[in-house]
Structure 1
């Protein structure tokens, strides 16, 4: 049975036949990782969409829930989401509109605003997470524990190398 990756693999094989110095395996592995990430995101987005939420809102809720007091400053949310403060404000507006967060003044500094997860937001997450966890178990059940551990080790090793390359390419 052909996989969704088969056309890419065939294209790479054709290129490798024509070009002697073509780094076939390195490109194949890179494309496999990219293809798998795309498929994982597609799968996750379908599940989130069925629950009436998108990836950004979900990550904002998870970020809030993970905080010690389920509270975070808007600038910290922006950093956690890797987005602009303007976009984080839009996300907070949508979460507040849905009743999942409240904006509260800081006890220590009235100029400082905190985003607080509400009971409704917490309940929504508790409803959302079990189906997501089942889906993740289904996806990763194709690997045994040793394979999962090997994949984690290899992935972390590659990530470390990419981080090193980023540092090496920075000026100064």
Structure 2
């Protein structure tokens, strides 16, 4: 984390403390955990976007591309992208349009149901994944290198527990 990032959260800490003094009984610990989680998420997204940008990608396009790639036949319905990545239909359409404009995927009628469209990975898309994946893997290792195996396992368990709680 950079000094400016530390400083940005320190200012948020000060704000939370000031509000807690004005409103006794505020759940300070829960507020800090929530704000810290959101702050880290933004920093993590920015961290990875720096390695995606040279490939003409962002987090949304990369994840959609990987989702299509992950299928055995490298094809997927547009609504599956929306559901799997928690995108609105509008955002999913924008991401798919962008991938198609760059020649990374193509739309084609479903062989099972002509009323449906499938998104199919192109050779250009496969080649881009092949080039970008080693860079992303290295970036992933760098992000988590200061954590032990046990800390990573605990962090994952805690994240999954929070996700389950928020999901209902």
Write the distance in 2 (CA, Å) between the matches of 1:115 and 1:66. 12
Write the distance in 1 (CA, Å) between the matches of 2:104 and 2:123. 7
Question: Which residue of the partner structure matches residue 155 of structure 1?
Answer: 159
Write the distance in 2 (CA, Å) between the matches of 1:21 and 1:93. 49
Write the distance in 1 (CA, Å) between the matches of 2:68 and 2:16. 43
Question: Which residue of the partner structure matches residue 106 of structure 2?
Answer: 102
Greater C-alpha Rg: 1
Question: Which residue of the partner structure matches residue 92 of structure 1?
Answer: 96
Question: Which residue of the partner structure matches residue 88 of structure 2?
Answer: 83
Question: Secondary structure at the residue paired with 2:107?
Answer: strand
* Greater relative CO (CA pairs within 8 A, separation 6+): 2
TM-score by length of 2: 0.84
**Cα deviation digits, residues 19-44 of structure 1 (max 9, x gap):** 43121111111111011011111112
TM-score by length of 1: 0.83
Pairing 1:15-54 to 2, within 5 Å after superposition = 15-54=19-58
- Once the two structures are TM-superposed, the CA of residue 13 in structure 1 deviates from its matched residue by 2.5
Question: Secondary structure at the residue paired with 1:104?
Answer: strand
Instruction: Please tell me whether the aligned partners of residues 75 and 119 of structure 2 are also in contact (alpha carbons under 8 angstroms).
Output: yes
Pairing 1:64-75 to 2, within 5 Å after superposition = 64-75=68-79
Write the distance in 2 (CA, Å) between the matches of 1:88 and 1:21. 41
CA RMSD of aligned residues (A): 2.1
